[in-house]
Amino acid sequence: MALSALAALVGVVCYLAPKEQFATVNRLADFVVINDTTFWLRDGPLGKIVRFPNYDSENEHLRLIAIDEVSLQDAAHGGVGAFPWPRSVYGTLLERLHQARASVVAFDVTFPDPSSPAQDGAFAAGLKVQRAVDGFSITTPGGHVYAELPIPAVRNNAAIGFTTVDTPGGWTVGQPLVDGPYESLAAKTIETHTAQPIRARDDWRASLGPTDVPLDGESKFLMLPFQVHENTQIGSEGGARLGSSSLTVPFFQAIPAVTALSMSAEDLHAFAGGNVIVIGTTAQALGDFVVTPNGRYPGVFTNLRLMDQLMRSTYIRRVPPALDLALIVLFPLLVGFLVTQLRPVVGIALGAGVVVVYSIFAVLAYGVTLHWVNLVHVDASIALAALFVALYRTVTEGADKRVITEMFGKHVSPAIVEHMLAHDDPLKALDLSGKRVKVTIFYSDIRGFTAMSEKMSPEEIYGALNEYFEEMCRIVFQYGGFVDKFIGDCLMAVFSAPNPQPDDAYNAVRSAWEQQQKILTMMTEWAAQGRPIFTVGMGLNTGEVVMGNLGSADRLNYTVIGDNVNTAARLYNVAKGGQTIISESTYEEVKERFIVNELTPVFVKGKTLPLRNFEIVGLLEPSQKNISTLLDPDNLPQATVAADH
């Protein structure tokens, strides 16, 4: 969970990084990605399936008169001439637009001083007959806001609005609608067109008349990105230079300025009547271009888009940062927790699935309703959390598996070790601190071993015991047992550690039966070889024990402890050579599967009451009659004291 929290912290830090210095990792990067994804879905192979609203349909009341490559040609080639143009040109254009019943004309054009009084007068005459708004720049030299206001001829006869846009990291993403005493060119133009005042309420909200206009929390009106199509001229048709580019945008109609000056009054009325007319530069030679997340295009397009959004109430609504941050923090913690409960590969797949599902939600929320909920930082935090936790588990569980292999590799069958290692958390599954479980404990002891060893060299004893234990352990493993320890010639096993199963008692007794059969075979072979032979007594008891690691900080042993362990140890002392003795609790578990002979109850050390005990006589086949010999539990014979062997 700490690693998940670290992943969330990375997401939060990136999200809150300053926009100007870290535009490629902060929320501005998220704005770029979510818009690019929306464009890709809309215009790509999934466009027929994913149907987003068409925000780029033509605005019937928004027009551009472009100062373009064609208009900048000299008169001999059908243009107006080199820039800057005489201001009388704009006066003439304004008078024509007034006659065409234009609603308002917005100038996104620079009018540098000086100019002759006659030219300024001609421009002022046009401004007096046609409602107009002129753009100006706001700069902040030395940290102080400075408005570069238009020339007096404009300032005294038209409304003004600043053209400065929000450009964090060098990208144009929006604009303040109101900045101090000034309104933006887009805001002032639409205010003039609709006769509805624009007011700034707070960092999150402005208003256009009675309509709320959402802002981004920093007093900025977010621009809805759009795609510009560039067409390169392959000839000189229309007076354009060979190789020059013309740019088209779907949400407004545009004509060259030279066309607006020369077209018929009827055609100009059809183009401009009742509409917002923007006059701006698109020619590359004039350099009025801005860089946006979706490409480089004329700055006038930005103002046109902002006007289009205000006219059609098409607003991007940024969700509160607290919600974004909550998602960036909570999702990684949730995914990190889930990954801890699953195998690393499954956990990573789950993390990827959550990223995909959340991404679909975020993109659909933006594409359909223009609600901007964070995408990049949430996804990145989820992916990092899943990756961090999976890598951590891979490293630590590798160590855990080595512990398991070292602890159990020589005590149980390889299949059981593999089963334990396949667990999502092997050490947790084992509960090495100790757990209460029901098992069957098995003890076996060689009868007469001391006397036999007196006739053998240490090397012979060592070899005989190893050969004997090798075969016995193989059978224990075969039936799912755990070899707990060797005590001299005594073998202790547990069925089934570390994961008890319903048939543990049967498997334990069956293992003991198979061991006795194997001992008979081995002793026959040994006798033929002239080697000393022996018999083995075995005892089994079923009951609850505590199973786990026992010992000191320096040396631990995985074992079982409890009264039922002691009972099994006493029973194998009761057994004579070749006998397998089981307790009453074990008998109750296996009585339908073995033929037994109940023996006289015995007193054993540590017990005040005698124990009923049963000798295993043979296997009971499914169709075979049970010929077990049992004592009357209400009339048991006098108990004897167990003899030591």
Distance of alpha carbon 382 from alpha carbon 397, whole angstroms:
22
- For residues 474 and 410, give the distance between their C-alpha atoms in angstroms, rounded to a whole number: 11
Which of 274, 372, 283 shows the shortest CA–CA distance to 321?
372
Which has the higher per-residue pLDDT, 224 or 417?
A: 224
Is the pLDDT confidence value at 358 over 80? yes
Which pLDDT score is estimated for 236? 43
pTM, full prediction? 0.65
Secondary structure of 293-321 as H, E, C letters: CCEEEEHHHHHHHHHHHHHHCCCCEECCH
Q: Would you put residue 101 in left (φ > 0), alpha (ψ -120 to 50) or beta?
A: left
Mean pLDDT (the chain) is: 86
Contact in structure between 111 and 126 (CB atoms under 8 Å): no
Tell me the C-alpha distance between 258 and 96, whole Å. Answer: 12
Placement of tokens 């007594």 in the chain: 537
Q: What is the mean pLDDT of residues 172-187?
A: 89
Domain assignments of the chain as residue spans, ordered by start: 2-52+319-397, 62-237+253-313, 431-641
Over residues 220-279, the pLDDT tens digits come to 999 998 888 776 544 444 444 444 456 788 999 999 999 999 999 999 999 999 999 999
Query: What type of residue sits at position 22?
Result: F
User: Hey, is 195 helix, strand or coil?
Assistant: coil
Check whether 300 has a pLDDT greater than 60. Answer: yes
In order of 208, 227, 320, the CA distances from 61 in angstroms are 18, 20, 33
Please give the pLDDT value at position 257: 94
Phi (first) and psi of residue 357, to 5 degrees: -65, -45
The tokens for 127 are 């401004």
Which residue is listed with tokens 């079923």?
542
Pairing verdict, β 580-583 and 611-619: antiparallel
Measured CA to CA, the distance from residue 227 to residue 296 in angstroms comes to 10
pLDDT at 405 over 80: no
**Side chain identity, residue 2:** A
For residues 546 and 566, give the distance between their C-alpha atoms in angstroms, rounded to a whole number: 13
Nearest one of 216, 156, 164, 202 to 186, comparing CA atoms: 164
Kindly report the number of other CB atoms within 10 A of residue 253's CB atom: 15
**Structure confidence at residue 243 (pLDDT):** 44
Choices 2.30.42.10, 3.40.50.300, 3.30.70.1230, 3.40.190.10: CATH for 431-641: 3.30.70.1230
The per-residue pLDDT for 89 is 94
Q: Which residue has the higher pLDDT, 341 or 595?
A: 595
Provide CB contacts within 8 A for 265, sequence distance 6+: 96, 99, 100
* Whether the Cβ atoms of residue 187 and residue 162 lie closer than 8 Å to each other: no
Across 280-298, average pLDDT: 82
| φ, ψ of residue 212 in degrees (nearest 5) | -75, 140
Question: Which run of H or of E encompasses 483?
Answer: strand 482-487
The mean per-residue pLDDT over the stretch 355-370 comes to 94
Q: Nearest CA to 543 among 510, 588, 605?
A: 588
Average pLDDT over residues 508-525: 96
Q: Residues 319-351: pLDDT tens digits?
A: 999 999 999 999 999 988 888 877 777 878 888
Q: Report d(CA 97, CA 92) in Å as an integer.
A: 9
Distance of CA 292 to the CA centre of its chain: 29
Q: Please give the average per-residue pLDDT across 64-79, as a whole number.
A: 89
Q: H or E element: which one contains 134?
A: strand 132-139
If one compares 93 and 36, the residue with the highest pLDDT of the two is 93
Q: Nearest 5°: phi and psi at 306?
A: -65, -40
pLDDT > 80? residue 141: no
- Using one digit for the tens of pLDDT, what is the confidence trace for 541-552? 999 999 877 766
Per-residue confidence band for 587, with pLDDT thresholds at 50, 70 and 90: very high
